[in-house]
């Protein structure tokens, strides 16, 4: 049956009822959506209320620390209180705390932020107070100028304390808190450059020059691997030389021990004491021989590593297996 005959058989009353049912369903859906949004907003409001309560507690604790003459401990409380709940009052007292501990740039910025916000609210008295504090702090704000010599380096990024310094700030005296600042410059294919600069208090100015970055090792370059292999060669060869020295000392000790048996022997005929001494000497000599062989093998392995250090293709592998009376060196290139 086509849709047209069906439409013809539907009376106006039936059409009205159908529309009414659809309308009720839409109202029910909207109510459900509204209820969900209300619940979500209620949950968010509860979370914000908890944050605000925590912010108030931290604000009070910070005030007590200020009264106790401990602003260095109070400032982190104010900072966390402001993070939990952004209050103009908290921001003002944080700026005051920064001024107390000598962070003049941070204090100046927060006083100006407070002035701008209270101006928007129409409180001229608080705005004037915040601007007075900012004006009093401004002459004490220290500044740092970061000069970048090769600003055209592709992908160059300069950071201060991990925060990017945009090109617009290069060569401009920027307000900073007094103290030590770490400047880092990096770019693709270049070696990272890092420097520390000390900025004095009381409105001091400092300048740091970022030199052109040096080229870094090319990707996939065998030079780095070769240098590492040469270092390994020196370590292995050095260990071999030390081992040979130890083996030589053991050999002399064995010889000295063998000589002690002369008092108890007549040629190759010895009593029990003489035989024990000679057995001990032979055992030491055997150990010396094994150690000497291991040392020689290590020296040989170090030589192999050194000679193959510059090979850009297949790497060299050296295996060292102690054997009776020496050692076996196995290598592949």
Q: Is the pLDDT of residue 129 over 60?
A: yes
Helix (H, G, I), strand (E, B) or coil at 320: strand
44 within some domain: yes
Total number of domains in the chain: 3
Give me 182's structure tokens: 């770490």
What is the average pLDDT value for the chain, to the nearest integer? 77
If pLDDT is split at 50, 70 and 90, which confidence band does 181 have?
A: very high
Same domain, 107 and 86: yes
Q: What residues contact residue 203 under an 8 Å CB cut-off, 6+ apart?
A: 104, 139, 140, 141, 142, 143
Same domain, 132 and 150: no
Q: Is the pLDDT of residue 159 over 80?
A: yes
Nearest to 94 by CA among 133, 48, 121: 133
Q: Reduce the secondary structure of 82-132 to three states and give it as a string.
A: HHHCCCHHHHHHHHHHHHHCCCHHHHHHHHHHHHHHHHHHCCHHHHHHHHH
pLDDT, tens only, 275-330: 777 777 688 778 768 867 786 887 887 777 777 765 444 444 444 444 444 444 44
Q: For residue 4, what pLDDT is reported?
A: 34
Contact 189, 215 (CB under 8 A): yes
pTM of the model: 0.53
248 within some domain: yes
pLDDT, tens only, 94-124: 999 999 999 999 999 999 999 999 998 888 9
Q: How many whole angstroms separate alpha carbon 232 and alpha carbon 302? A: 7
Q: For residue 324, what pLDDT is reported?
A: 44
Same domain, 78 and 196: no
Contact 142, 164 (CB under 8 A): no
Last residue of a domain, one of 87, 122, 139: 139
Nearest to 314 by CA among 216, 229, 231, 219: 229
Same domain, 17 and 108: yes
Cα-based distances in Å from 260 to 253, 274, 279: 11, 8, 12
Q: For residue 27, what pLDDT is reported?
A: 40
Same domain, 60 and 39: yes
Same domain, 45 and 85: yes
Residue 176 lies in domain: 141-210
Last residue of a domain, one of 104, 139, 174: 139
Q: Is the pLDDT of residue 183 over 70?
A: yes
Question: Which of the residue ranges 181-195, 221-235, 241-255 has the most confident prediction, judged by mean pLDDT?
Answer: 181-195
If pLDDT is split at 50, 70 and 90, which confidence band does 261 have?
A: low
Q: Is the pLDDT of residue 187 over 80?
A: yes
Nearest to 52 by CA among 109, 93, 60: 60
Q: For residue 225, what pLDDT is reported?
A: 60
Write the DSSP string, 11-76: -HHHHHHHHHHHHHHHHHHHHHHHHHHHHHHHHHHHHHHHHHHHHHHHHHHHHHHHHTT-HHHHHH
Contact 274, 265 (CB under 8 A): yes
Q: How many whole angstroms separate alpha carbon 86 and alpha carbon 146? A: 32
105 within some domain: yes
Helix (H, G, I), strand (E, B) or coil at 150: coil
Last residue of a domain, one of 122, 139, 156: 139
Nearest to 300 by CA among 284, 315, 320, 281: 320
Same domain, 132 and 179: no
pLDDT, tens only, 220-246: 444 556 677 778 878 887 887 887 777
């Amino acid at each position: 049956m086509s849709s047209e005959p069906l439409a013809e058989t539907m009376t106006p009353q039936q059409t009205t009822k159908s529309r009414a049912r659809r309308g009720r369903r839409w109202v029910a859906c909207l109510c459900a959506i509204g209820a969900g949004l209300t619940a979500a907003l209620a949950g968010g409001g509860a979370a914000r209320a908890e944050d605000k309560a925590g912010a108030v507690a931290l604000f009070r604790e910070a005030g007590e620390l200020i009264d106790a003459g401990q602003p260095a401990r109070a400032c982190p409380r104010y900072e966390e209180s402001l993070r939990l709940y952004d209050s103009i009052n908290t921001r003002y007292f944080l700026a005051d705390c920064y001024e107390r501990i000598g962070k003049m740039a941070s204090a100046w910025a927060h006083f100006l932020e407070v002035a701008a916000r209270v101006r928007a609210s129409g409180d001229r008295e608080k705005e004037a107070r915040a601007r007075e504090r900012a004006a009093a702090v401004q002459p004490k704000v220290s500044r740092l100028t970061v000069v970048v010599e090769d600003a055209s380096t592709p992908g160059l990024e300069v950071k201060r304390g991990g925060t990017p310094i945009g090109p617009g700030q290069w060569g401009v005296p920027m307000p900073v808190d007094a103290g030590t600042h770490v400047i880092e410059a990096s770019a693709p294919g270049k070696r990272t450059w890092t420097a520390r600069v000390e900025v004095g208090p009381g409105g001091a100015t400092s300048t740091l020059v970022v030199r052109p970055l040096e080229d870094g090792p090319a990707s996939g370059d065998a030079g780095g691997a070769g240098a590492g292999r040469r270092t390994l060669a020196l370590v292995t060869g050095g260990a071999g030389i030390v081992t040979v020295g130890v083996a030589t000392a053991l050999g002399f000790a064995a010889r000295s021990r063998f000589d002690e048996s002369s008092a108890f022997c007549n040629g190759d005929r010895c009593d029990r004491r003489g035989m024990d001494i000679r057995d001990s000497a032979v055992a030491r000599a055997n150990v010396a021989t094994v150690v000497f062989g291991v040392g020689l093998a290590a020296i040989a392995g170090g030589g192999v590593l050194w000679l193959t250090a510059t090979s850009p293709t297949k790497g060299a592998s050296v295996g060292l297996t102690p054997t009776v009376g020496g050692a076996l060196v196995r290598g592949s290139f």
